[in-house]
Amino acid sequence: MEGAAQRLESLRKQIRKLQAAPRTYLAVLKTGVAAFDSWMPGGGLPMGQVVELSGEAASGRTSIALRGIAAATREKRLAAYVDGPGELYPPVAAGMGVDLERLLIVRPKAPRQLVWTAVQLARSGAFACIVLDLTHTGLQLSLVESKKLSDAAFQGGSCTLLLAASRSQASSARVRLEVTASDPQTLRLEALRSSQGRGRQILIPVAALLPGEAGWPLFSTHSERTEEPPEIKRIKLVWERDGGGIDRNRPGRDAALPSLRGTVGI
Amino acid sequence: MRVLFLHLPRFPIQRRVAEMPSLAGKPIALSQETRGHRQVAFASTSALTAGVRPGMTIAAATALVPSLREFSFQLDAERKALVSLGEGLLGIAPAFQLAAPDGLWLDASAAPLCQGEEGLCRRALEIADSFGYRGKAVVASQLFTARALAREGAVRSQVIGTSESAKALSVLPLACLDSSPAAVEAIKSLGLSTLGEVASLPTGAMVARMGLEGLRIHRLCRGEDDAPLVPAPITPVFEEQIDLDWPAESVEPLLFALKTTLDRLGARLCSRRKAVVKLAICFRLSSAREQKVELVLAQPSSRPPLLLDLARHRIADLTFAAPVGGIGIKVEECCEDRAHQQVLGDAPEGDAVLDVVLSKISSALGPQSLFAAELDPFHRPERAYHPKPFRPPPSDRGLLRGTAEQQRAGDPDPNQLERPSRFFERPALLQMELGAQGRVVAARLSGKRRKVLAMAGPERLCGEWWEENPYDREYYRVHFEGLGQVWIFRDQRDGKFYLQGFFD
């Protein structure tokens, strides 16, 4: 009887343990790009904060955001992409390791609904990573909206990434990064605001960020080409003479051949 | 056949109080017009205590209780409310029959599923409680027996055995009979006062005095009622109405009315295993106009708290042109409610949060605005994926954690083709500058002349020649000065360059 009671108690303890820890703690989203993760203050994209990524249209911001989403879905969390311009290409997201079944894509019709949607998603706490893409929308966050987004991210504990075409005039994002495609092979990231101060820079190879063939190097068209083909170096062959004459240097050709009479029986 | 009668004493008064809790404990009366006079049809307990009686004129009742609140009695509305309750009870009984205005019969054949007939009574009273009604329940073999005992009995729930009907009825007064007052008076004139006394008379004597009606009454009193249960037709439309007694000018009374109505609707849906997909809320304004709001749920649900939360969110953004006099809620689209089996260690509150936020966004932006993507095996870049409803895989929590991990691999595809992360569904025409030998030199992009620094390609994609809109393109990945890498193509059919996307 006692044994049964003890067994029951141990089972109850196991149930309590299972119920008490339904989730694993996640502090940062590691993008998988070693250079970027080690450069970021916490070792990746921070949870519960807004990270602003600004830069030109093809500077690499979206790829960084997709790497963050892939990290979230790898941890079996949900992610959302509030796609203002409606330009996200899901096949590329899948190529970066994003589980498309866990990625919610929201494309509001009116630009003014973008921030509201992102705030709702961030505040809910149901999504680990939320991307608000304001590129090509002509929208710039006001300080109030930015503050609202930061509060929602903090409340929901989600990593909120803000993609903007240019540096916003007023932003309450804790981390602000500017991305520039400095040359065909590298991206330059500059911290406009972070816990480690501003002005820090890092160069990341494009191949580390873009998936598959998209990361392969381009062929430069910028260098000046000459119309004439480059000169081919000719190799001069020199025979060293050792005084042995032609018989020594070219054996088998000019030397006297042995008689075959003995072998053929003539 | 076993039946359960659920009696709801003074049901119209209970309904009023359930819809407006501020009326609880106050003297109220429901009036109806009879021969040009407004008479009391139902009165609350406090009004009855003060001397108000059914049949009294409203003028007399008001003279007796100056603080008496009067409302009009509408049989149709009471009937609808009873139907709502009946549908809410369909989860424990396969059919119900109305006994307006204060009760309904239920088919008790599913009692074994509720741990017997006592359990069925208990469950029926619990559901009625959830609607805000207090009642009494009796299970018996005849409709009359069950109703008479529920109306006149002292206990809250009672089960009468198959052969115990006559004995149980014997102590009840003649007022239980649903016959005409003249017939009841005729029996009283014989010096009889209980049903048991009527039952003890010889059948022939009753028939000789009162004819067929006498025979019927005699059979009822002996527990031999053979009237069958006639199931009420189940309406395919889920609709609820509520009238506000005072036009509401603020959100609070509206939310309260919505809560009451959605609770009823939720119970009806649950009992029929249905879930709401699309809901229409119609606010009837005092200016005889209507204002309609549609709620589209991202995930079908029949849970009243979720529906109320969504309604609250939508109302917060609404501006009414006039005070609201009534609310109508109609389920415009519903589906089968598939129950969710929870596992040990599950956290259902997380799923509820997801439901709320998805439904909120879906109802505000439209259901087409949020989706998940699914890849398609097409070479044409525009057709490489299609949107589908966002239904994340079930959370692998509790004991199931880790099992799903082996099934689903989220590793990137190393053979991913050269595709941009930002893609234009409609390619933009590009003004390219070509140098000697047709080399690409620069292009005008974002209003600027951008020099080409590097490029790769071409990747030739063509096909769908059998369709109306075939394609034949040569794609290049080009790095423009000050911009980054873009994906352009030369359309082989017109020879022009187009911008297809950015490698952002």
Chain B residues inside the 8 Å CB shell of A18: 344-345, 398-399
For residue B416, the model assigns a pLDDT of: 64
Please state the separation of Cα A46 from the chain's center in Å.
16
Task: Give me the interface pTM, i.e. the ipTM.
Answer: 0.73
pLDDT tens for B361-417 read 887 888 888 999 999 888 888 888 999 988 887 655 545 455 544 444 455 555 566
Q: Which residue on chain B is closest to A84 by alpha carbon?
A: B369
Residues of chain A with C-beta less than 8 angstroms from the C-beta of B419: 89, 91-92, 95, 214
Q: List the one residue out of A86, A170, A66 whose CA is nearest residue A136.
A: A86
Which residues of chain B from 171 to 230 reach within 8 Å of chain A, CB to CB?
none
CA–centroid distance for B446 within its chain: 52
Q: Does the CB of A106 have a partner CB in chain B at under 8 Å? A: yes
- Kindly state whether B304 is in contact with chain A, defined as any CB-CB distance less than 8 angstroms: no
Query: What percentage of chain B carries pLDDT values higher than 70?
Result: 92
CA atoms within 13 A of residue A140's CA, in its CB half-sphere: 9
Q: Which of B406, B405, B407, B419 is nearest to B375 (CA)?
A: B419
pLDDT of the residue at A262? 55
Chain B partners of A177 at a C-beta cutoff of 8 Å? Answer: none
Burial class (CB in 10 A: 0-12, 13-18, 19+), B293: middle
- List helix spans (H) across B200-336: 203-221, 251-271, 304-316
Rounded to whole angstroms, the Cα distance separating B47 from B53 reads 8
pLDDT at A239 > cutoff 70: no
> In sequence order, what are the beta bridge partners of B5?
B105, B138
Kindly state whether B402 is in contact with chain A, defined as any CB-CB distance less than 8 angstroms: no
B344 touches chain A (CB under 8 A): yes
User: Any chain B CB within 8 A of the CB of A26?
Assistant: no
How large is the average pLDDT for residues B49-72? Answer: 90
Minimal C-alpha gap between B387 and chain A (Å): 9
Q: Average pLDDT over chain B, rounded to whole?
A: 84
Instruction: State the Cα–Cα distance between residues B501 and A63, nearest whole angstrom.
Output: 13
Instruction: Answer whether A214 touches B (CB < 8 Å).
Output: yes
Contacts of B317 (CB under 8 A, 6+ apart): none
Q: Residue A228 has what pLDDT? A: 41
Query: Cβ A108–B369 below 8 Å, yes or no?
Result: yes
CA distance B419 to chain A (A): 6
* A237-251 mean pLDDT: 53
What pLDDT, in 10s, does the model give residues A97-139?
A: 899 999 999 999 888 889 999 999 999 888 999 999 988 888 8
State percent of chain B over pLDDT 90: 20
φ and ψ at residue B277, rounded to 5 degrees:
-105, -45
Quote the pLDDT of residue A22. 44
Please, are residues A72 and A128 in contact by the beta-carbon 8 Å criterion?
yes
Give residue B4's pLDDT band: very low, low, confident or very high (50, 70, 90).
very high
A74-105 residue pLDDT tens: 888 899 999 998 999 999 999 888 999 999 99
Tell me: pLDDT of A227 over 50. no
Residues of chain B in contact with residue A106, where contact means CB-CB under 8 angstroms, are: 361, 365, 369-370
Per residue, what are the HEC states of A6-55? Answer: HHHHHHHHHHHHHHHCCCCCCCEECCCCHHHHHHCCCCCEECCCEEEEEE
Please check whether residue A8 touches B, CB under 8 A: no
Out of B366, B391, B454, the one facing A219 most closely (by C-beta) is: B454
Which DSSP string do the residues of B194-235 spell out, in sequence order?
Answer: BHHHHHTS-HHHHHHHHHHHHHHHHHHHTT---PPP-PPPPP
Average confidence (pLDDT) over B202-220: 89
When pLDDT is averaged across residues B111-121 and rounded to a whole number, the result is 91
Task: Check pLDDT > 70 for residue A236.
Answer: no
Q: Collapsing DSSP states into helix, strand and coil, what is residue B476?
A: strand
Most confident of A257-261, B210-214, B440-444: B210-214
The pTM assigned to this predicted structure is 0.64
Residue B484 sits at the chain A interface (C-beta within 8 Å): yes
* Inter-chain touch B371–A105, beta carbons under 8 Å: yes
Closest-CA residue of chain B to A164: B504
pLDDT at A195 over 60: yes
What are the pLDDT digits (tens) for B229-263?
Answer: 999 888 778 888 888 877 888 888 888 888 888 88
Q: Which residues of A touch B420 (CB under 8 A)?
A: 89, 92, 214
pLDDT more than 90, % of chain A: 22
For A101, which residue in chain B has the nearest alpha carbon?
B392
pLDDT of res. B349: 62
Please tell me which of the candidates A105, A211, A213 has its beta carbon nearest to residue B412. A211
Residue A235 has pLDDT above 70, yes or no: no
Residues β-bridged to residue A106: A82, B370
pLDDT digits (tens, 9 = 90+) for B445-485: 777 888 888 888 788 888 888 888 888 888 988 888 888 88
Task: Please tell me if residue A113 touches chain B, with a CB cutoff of 8 Å.
Answer: yes
Q: How far apart are CA B395 and CA B187, in angstroms?
A: 70
The predicted structure's pLDDT at residue A225: 43
> In chain B, what residues touch A211 (CB-CB under 8 Å)?
412-413, 416
Q: Does the pLDDT at position A218 exceed 80?
A: no
Q: Which one of A53, A82, A218 makes the best mutation probe of the B interface by having the most chain B beta carbons within 10 Å?
A: A218
Out of B358, B365, B412, the one facing A113 most closely (by C-beta) is B365
Q: In what order do the strands lie in the sheet with B69-72?
A: B37-43, B28-34, B69-72
d(CA B58, CA B68): 9
Q: Touching check for B23 and chain A: CB below 8 Å?
A: no
CB atoms B366 and A87 under 8 Å: no
Nearest-CA distance B469 → chain A (Å): 22
How does residue A223 score in pLDDT terms, banded at 50, 70 and 90? very low
Q: Which residues numbered 153-212 in A keep a CB inside 8 Å of some CB on B? A: 181, 183-184, 206, 210-212
Contact map slice: B 365-384 vs A, CB within 8 A: 365-366, 369-375, 384
Q: What confidence score (pLDDT) does residue A122 get?
A: 92
What amino acid is encoded at B122 in this protein? R
Residue of B nearest to A113 (CA): B365
What's chain A's average pLDDT?
Answer: 78
Residue listed under structure tokens 């729930």? B157
Q: Give the residue from A13, A221, A225 with the most B CB atoms within 10 Å of its CB, the best one to mutate.
A: A221
